[in-house]
Structure 1
Amino acid sequence: MTQPPISRFPVAAREELPADLAERFDVVEEKSGFLPNIFAALAWRPDEALAFFAMHDSVMNKETPGLSKADRELIVVATSAGNDCLYCVVAHGAVARIRAKDPYIADQVAVDWRKAPLSPRMHAVLAVATRLAAEPAAVTPDDLASLTAHGLTQDDVWDVGMITSFFALSNRLAHFAALVPNPEFYSMGRTAPEA
């Protein structure tokens, strides 16, 4: 089977990238063993790519008492599934499996987060996140209060909104560009960790 192009738009040659973006690519590739297609697909617009990755890092690469890195990835998986975004479900599903140390959780959340074996806190988080992703005007103060009732701080509640909103942008870009997930993502984190 022939792999389709990774994007409908131009893909910049690696040697043509600005130094800061090329350095970022090297770091990501060294850490993961491959370059996720989103990097190559966005690189033809370097300033936007750098801003996109900076925003990604600011909302995803932190842990707070209310939201772990695994929780953040599960927000992406649930909302991206609701937005029918194959790229983000596959890519962030891989990261969620690794961060949660659970080979099944991302698939369960993507198919039906309501039935996934999650804590009541995470069910509340995903209820609000998926509502924001699908019906943003329907989110109420009671929804936000449900999150604080489950122990999320005001900063955590904001992060739920920021992650959901940022990945709404990402989902739409992935659809618009017809981004193709890297084959490597499909097998990542599929083996249960040793006890």
Structure 2
Amino acid sequence: ESRPEHLGALAAAGLDAHGIVALSQLIALVNYQVRLLAGLRALAGGAAGGAAEPPSGPLPAGAPVPVDADIGFTTDVLDWKPWLTPVVLEDATEEQRLALAVTPSNIAIGAYSLVLAHEPESLLHRTPLFNGIMYAPRGLPRAEREFATAVESVLNGCVYCASVHARRFVELTGGRDAVDLLFAQGIAGQDDPRRQAIAQAAARLTATPAALTAEDVATLRGAGVEDGEILDLVLAVAIFAWANRLMLSLGEAVR
């Protein structure tokens, strides 16, 4: 629910760009930690077989609501407009340049990274963590990581992240039926049992992390998702609890 006026209020209270980005990073990091710990607990409970589990919370139902209603959920290529002035690369400090050197792009550094560079220490550690979780060559197939993060981004209303990762899923699989259904109905009605199990687990971790239980882990296993792949799923959802909040608290999607 962050808007530019909220950043303005922080600035009026005395926070500079470094402080504002640090606050966003802190909030986003804690959301990552909560989901990682909840996922590990559910995975361990499932392995133990007899651990007491809290009842599963309700799953998000109905059509998801985009933060940017004028754009809506789409696989189109969107831009991201920052609400803070990005770091000017030519004026960047050595610490900022070091943090920016590990961004995925070797062609151009986008506004998102340049905004995060206001607080370079977090960026320096977050980027390789993100790349390791999303692009590791083994474990949960890349398309399923992209689908899980698209589910989370849709449920969080993050139009920009949803567009990027739904588009990557379509590119990797050659089909868009699952994405169209996700945009229209949320997690309901995926026709592939494995994909439905992934969507359900991702939705629980997104909405109410403590609601993920050994029962969800058992459902994933029953759909053929191995324990190492479940860990990858948990990590992907956790890192996008972080990514969505940075995107939504520091700027907005634009066409």
TM-score (norm 2): 0.60
Shift of 1:116: 4.2
Shift of 1:76: 0.6
Contact 1:11 1:40 in 2 (8 A): yes
Distance 1:161 1:22, change over 3 A: closer
- Counterpart residue number, 1:12: 87
Shift of 1:49: 1.5
Q: Identify the match of residue 136 of structure 1 among 202, 209, 221.
A: 209
Unaligned runs of 5+ residues in structure 2 are 1-77
Deviation by residue 1:22-81 (Cα, 9 ceiling, x = unmatched):
4345x6153xxx64543233122222112221121111002445x211110110111111
Q: Identify the match of residue 165 of structure 2 among 92, 99, 111.
A: 92
SS of equivalent residue, structure 1 residue 152: coil
d(CA) in 2 for partners of 1:5 and 1:114? Answer: 29
Q: Which amino acid aligns with 1:54?
A: P
Q: Identify the match of residue 193 of structure 2 among 120, 130, 155.
A: 120
SS of equivalent residue, structure 1 residue 28: coil
- Is the aligned partner of 1:77 residue 2:111? no
- Counterpart residue number, 2:223: 150
- Counterpart residue number, 1:191: none
Deviation by residue 1:92-150 (Cα, 9 ceiling, x = unmatched):
22322222233554343333343345x21111011111111012121111111111222
- Counterpart residue number, 2:49: none
- Counterpart residue number, 2:235: 162
SS of equivalent residue, structure 2 residue 253: coil
- Counterpart residue number, 1:42: 116
TM-score (norm 1): 0.76
Q: Which amino acid aligns with 2:224?
A: G
Which aligned segments of 4 or more residues in structure 1 are displaced greater than 6 angstroms? none
- Is the aligned partner of 1:52 residue 2:126? yes
Q: Structure 1 residues 101-110 or 8-17, which shifts more? A: 101-110
Identity of aligned residues (%): 22
Q: Which amino acid aligns with 1:122?
A: R
Q: More helix per residue: 1 or 2?
A: 1
Distance 1:153 1:35, change over 3 A: same
Distance 1:110 1:36, change over 3 A: farther
d(CA) in 2 for partners of 1:4 and 1:142? Answer: 39
Distance 1:86 1:69, change over 3 A: same
d(CA) in 2 for partners of 1:180 and 1:50? Answer: 24
d(CA) in 2 for partners of 1:110 and 1:73? Answer: 14
**Higher RCO structure (Cα 8 Å, ≥6 apart):** 2
d(CA) in 2 for partners of 1:76 and 1:120? Answer: 18
Q: From the CA coordinates, give the structure whose radius of gyration is larger.
A: 2
The alignment of Structure 1 onto Structure 2 pairs a total of residues equal to: 174
Distance 1:130 1:46, change over 3 A: same
Q: Which amino acid aligns with 1:28?
A: S
Distance 1:22 1:170, change over 3 A: closer
What is the RMSD of the two structures over their aligned residues, measured on CA atoms?
Answer: 2.6
SS of equivalent residue, structure 1 residue 6: strand
d(CA) in 2 for partners of 1:71 and 1:81? Answer: 15
